[in-house]
Amino acid sequence: MSKVQLPDGSVLEAAERATVRDIAEQIGPGLAKAAIAGRLNGESVDLSTQITDDANLEIITSKDDEGLDILRHSCAHIMAEAICSLWPEAKLVYGPAVRDGFYYDLDLDEPIRPEDFQRIEQKMSEIIAADTPFERVEMSRTEALEKMAGDRYKSDNIQRADGETISFYSHGANGFQDLCKGPHVPSTGRIDRKAFKVMSVAGAYWHGDASQKMLQRVYGTAWRNKKELNEHLRLLEEAKKRDHRLLGRQMDLFSFHDEGPGFAFLHAKGMIIWNEIIDFWRSVHRKYDYEEVKTPIILNEELWHRSGHWDNYKENMYFTMVDGINYAIKPMNCPGGLLIYKSTRHSYREFPIRMAELGLVHRYEPSGQMHGLVRVRQFTQDDAHIFCTPEQIESEIVGVIDLVMELYKAFGFDDYHIELSTKPEKRIGSDEIWEVATQALANALEQKGIDYQLNPGDGAFYGPKIDFHIEDCLKRSWQLGTIQLDFSMPERFGLVYSDKDNTEKTPVMIHRAILGSLERFMGILIEHYGGNMPLWLAPEQMRVLAISEKTSDYAVDVCKRLKNAGLRCGVDVSGEKIGAKIAKTHSDKVPYMLVVGPKESESDTVSARWRGRRETTSVGVEQFIAIAHAKIDDKSLELAFE
RNA sequence: GCCAACGUAGCUCAACGGUAGAGCACUGGUUUUGUAAACCAGCGGUUAAGGGUUCGAUUCCCUUCGUUGGCCCCA
């Protein structure tokens, strides 16, 4: 007889050889029916697991996130069986649950094609309909290795598994079995036949190692019921509409061409957004006491040998030759900044020197990496290099974090995560220096009370870094800002300053970018707003729409007055009907539509409606100008007035 | 870079071994319009590029380039 404590604190007596399922039944038949697995002393287990001792137990249903994960993981097994029955030569590698679904990696020479998905789904449906139980078999590691001898993937998985007990799960009439630590749903029928879908297939390296064989990774999605699946599919469709690549074309902001893969062409409207971002960026940097510099794009190759880029970054660089001399196209701005520093003598009294640069860099990216504006081969970094004394490091980093927060907040980004990346394999500088630098970054984060994720081995080659990441509409994570501490570069370049005691010392250098790449930032921003840019960023802030050509003159006049007031105003005096003009303006995502007819013409007003709203508001022209200016100055996200 | 798919008019997509089509956009005309798309006509393509198979290729095969989804990397 064991005592089982439930999450609410109550204690149940468990009968001899009682299973998790039995306890669920003791609690209530409804729960027993909904149960998927249990959490026994904090560990996830099958419903069939026996309770042998006093324990804490929680029943997991599909309502729990973990329950959903288990459901998806079981669905991955079902898909694996389906695929193996269609392609008996397929070797299974690894199939976990992931966000929104699951995948299974397979070694199979014949490519699985999207046309095959329906066949796979059909097979999965049959397996689910058969509703056979998932059965767990345990054995020792040695036995498991023997059992899987000849299967390099499963043998490898066994060797990597924790603990000495290795488990297999089987289900289905044909005895499909797979190495797995579980837990699983009690039987295949617990998956909703109408709530899963095979989504895509892609290549994936074994162990993520590019030198290993490429496997086929089949992605699927699975939900509690059909309604949730449909909602998920709908959200994917919605996300596609927010894709900056699509909006960039629709809104005429930028384009890409075969003549320059990975090099963005910014159109006139895109440049308006670009310049607004930069104007704001400059104003904030002035406030934080930064100076701005500009360094050349092409510099002698020798400089890059000195900086360590040649040894550590050559594969990502472009080179050129002029007058028989080798030059490199800069992939980073730091060496140029160092030369500026060196061009005059420096005293500790000047420190910290905060030298910002909107620097255009080129980095060679393998062709499969490019992605709209967020992954390009040429981009503008909102870079800065801070030269300071060791004592100033922490306060400078805190200052940069404050600046990051202020900039992100203005764009409405509250949802980002921070990573601290440490010493990589390819690096310059001593271990001791790395330790000090890494600690300084960690201290600053802790001082600000910021949660962060540790990324061992992911630092830049010259120092550890703090990165700021944000997600795009398809939930892909992108790095924006970065703060990198560097003790090595100043030494390599022989940077010095005169200290209080009149000795020469080497300054510390902090590299930082906040928006990261302006191209990427703009791409993320477009998705963030779904193309509906706030007034201060909108390429066309308002458009005057004439009811008919009879009021064209007034419309043109109003537009002119708004332009003279510094507003970005357009006018539509075409022969279209007013309904068509409104529809067009709306699809162009213009914040304000100002309709004018004879009535407005007489009273010097406009009939205003704003993006997303059908009602109109009559407002005087001068009054509207004042309202618009106020909203632009506030960087307001809200268009409504009245 | 690797695996897979895709590339047809400015955009979104048809046609799939037998003369390449539609909607939107654009141009001209009719309409003079009161709040989410009036009507008519016209313009627009060596079907990404190159090679091969074939009487004939947009369609089948190969190569290159580009794009998309992943993997590995990264701002």
Which nucleotide C1' is nearest A200 CA? B69
Which nucleotide C1' is nearest A616 CA? B35
Q: Are residues A464 and A559 in the same domain?
A: no
Is A561 considered catalytic here? no
Q: Please tell me the distance from the alpha carbon of residue A417 to that of residue A280, in angstroms, as a whole number.
A: 23
> How close are the terminal C-alpha atoms of chain A, in Å?
71
Section A152-177 average pLDDT: 88
- Would the Cβ of A116 be found within 7 angstroms of any atom in strand B? no
Q: Which of A15, A41, A61 is the last residue of a domain?
A: A61
Q: What angle, rounded to 10 degrees, do the helices at A268-287 and A393-410 form?
A: 140
Q: Please tell me the distance from the alpha carbon of residue A325 to that of residue A107, in angstroms, as a whole number.
A: 49
Three-state secondary structure call for residue A596: strand
Q: Please tell me the distance from the alpha carbon of residue A255 to that of residue A273, in angstroms, as a whole number.
A: 15
Section A462-486 average pLDDT: 88
Q: Which of residues 63-102 of A touch strand B (CB under 7 A)?
A: none
Closest CA to the C1' of B31: that residue is A575
Which residue among the candidates A383, A486, A572, A588 is catalytic per the annotation?
A: A383
CATH at residue A447: 3.30.930.10
Q: Are residues A489 and A564 in the same domain?
A: no
Q: Are residues A48 and A168 in the same domain?
A: no
Residue A204 bridge partners (DSSP): A215
Distance between alpha carbon A558 and the CA centroid of its chain, in Å?
43
pLDDT in tens, A253-292: 999 999 999 999 999 999 999 999 999 999 999 999 999 9
Is A385 considered catalytic here? yes
Question: How many structural domains is chain A composed of?
Answer: 4
Q: Are residues A186 and A279 in the same domain?
A: no
CA of A243 to C1' of B39 (A): 35
Q: What angle, rounded to 10 degrees, do the helices at A268-287 and A518-528 form?
A: 110
What's residue A532's pLDDT?
Answer: 96
CATH at residue A40: 3.10.20.30
Q: Please tell me the distance from the alpha carbon of residue A469 to that of residue A254, in angstroms, as a whole number.
A: 24
Q: Which of residues 22-61 of A touch strand B (CB under 7 A)?
A: none
In terms of average pLDDT, the best of A116-120, A255-259, A475-479, A627-631 is A627-631
| A377 backbone dihedrals φ, ψ, rounded to 5° | -100, -15
Residue A616 lies in a domain: yes
For the cut 90, the answer to whether the pLDDT of residue A487 exceeds it is: no
Q: Which nucleotides of B are covered by protein (CB under 7 A)?
A: 1-5, 11-12, 29-38, 65-75
pTM of the model: 0.93
Please, which pLDDT band fits residue A577 given cuts at 50, 70 and 90?
Answer: very high
CB A37 within 8 A of CB A185: yes
Please, which pLDDT band fits residue A385 given cuts at 50, 70 and 90?
Answer: very high
Three-state secondary structure call for residue A330: coil
Q: Are residues A46 and A79 in the same domain?
A: no
CA of A148 to C1' of B75 (A): 44
For the cut 90, the answer to whether the pLDDT of residue A75 exceeds it is: yes
What's residue A37's pLDDT?
Answer: 94
CB A209 within 8 A of CB A487: no
Three-state secondary structure call for residue A203: strand
CA of A605 to C1' of B25 (A): 32
Q: Which range of residues forms the domain containing residue A42?
A: 2-61
Residue A302 lies in a domain: no
Q: Which of residues 519-538 of A touch strand B (CB under 7 A)?
A: 519-520
DSSP 8-state code for residue A315 = G
Residue A52 lies in a domain: yes
Q: Please tell me the distance from the alpha carbon of residue A388 to that of residue A256, in angstroms, as a whole number.
A: 41
Q: Are residues A338 and A384 in the same domain?
A: yes
CATH at residue A574: 3.40.50.800
- Helices H, strands E: what count in chain A? 20, 33
Q: What is the DSSP string of A523-559?
A: HHHHHHTTT---TTT-SS-EEEEESSGGGHHHHHHHH
Q: Are residues A172 and A123 in the same domain?
A: yes
Name which of A25, A20, A63 is nearest A43 in CA terms. Answer: A20
What's residue A471's pLDDT?
Answer: 82
Alpha helix (H) ranges present in A92-212? Answer: 117-130, 141-147, 152-160
Please, which pLDDT band fits residue A397 given cuts at 50, 70 and 90?
Answer: very high
Count how many Cα atoms sit within 13 Å of the Cα of residue A572 in the half-sphere of its side chain: 25
Please, which pLDDT band fits residue A478 given cuts at 50, 70 and 90?
Answer: confident
- Would the Cβ of A476 be found within 7 angstroms of any atom in strand B? yes
Which residue among the candidates A378, A381, A392, A541 is catalytic per the annotation?
A: A381
Q: Are residues A354 and A463 in the same domain?
A: yes
Q: Are residues A57 and A70 in the same domain?
A: no
- Would the Cβ of A474 be found within 7 angstroms of any atom in strand B? yes
Is A363 considered catalytic here? yes
CB A224 within 8 A of CB A74: no
Q: Which of A15, A31, A61 is the last residue of a domain?
A: A61
CATH at residue A190: 3.30.980.10
Q: Which helix (H) or strand (E) holds A180?
A: none
For the cut 90, the answer to whether the pLDDT of residue A488 exceeds it is: no
Q: Are residues A562 and A500 in the same domain?
A: no
Name which of A224, A99, A92 is nearest A168 in CA terms. Answer: A92
Q: Which of A191, A213, A238 is the last residue of a domain?
A: A238
Residue A638 lies in a domain: no
What's residue A425's pLDDT?
Answer: 84
Residue A325 lies in a domain: no
Section A319-333 average pLDDT: 95
Percent over 70 (pLDDT), chain A: 100
In terms of average pLDDT, the best of A207-211, A454-458, A476-480, A631-635 is A631-635
Is A381 considered catalytic here? yes
CA of A373 to C1' of B65 (A): 20
Section A7-19 average pLDDT: 88
Residue A506 lies in a domain: yes
Q: Please tell me the distance from the alpha carbon of residue A104 to that of residue A504, in angstroms, as a whole number.
A: 60
What's residue A84's pLDDT?
Answer: 94
Name which of A480, A336, A485 is nearest A396 in CA terms. Answer: A485
Residue A320 lies in a domain: no
Is A193 considered catalytic here? no
Q: Which of residues 248-277 of A touch strand B (CB under 7 A)?
A: 249, 256, 258, 261-262
Q: Are residues A160 and A276 in the same domain?
A: no
| Cα three-residue angle A267-A273-A277, rounded to 5 degrees | 135
pLDDT top residue among A472 and A406? A406
- Would the Cβ of A376 be found within 7 angstroms of any atom in strand B? yes
What's residue A629's pLDDT?
Answer: 98
Query: Which ipTM value was assigned to this complex?
Result: 0.95
Is A423 considered catalytic here? no
Residue A309 lies in a domain: no
The mean of the pLDDT values for chain A is 93
The length of chain A in residues reads 642
Three-state secondary structure call for residue A121: helix
Q: Are residues A54 and A82 in the same domain?
A: no
CA of A511 to C1' of B54 (A): 63
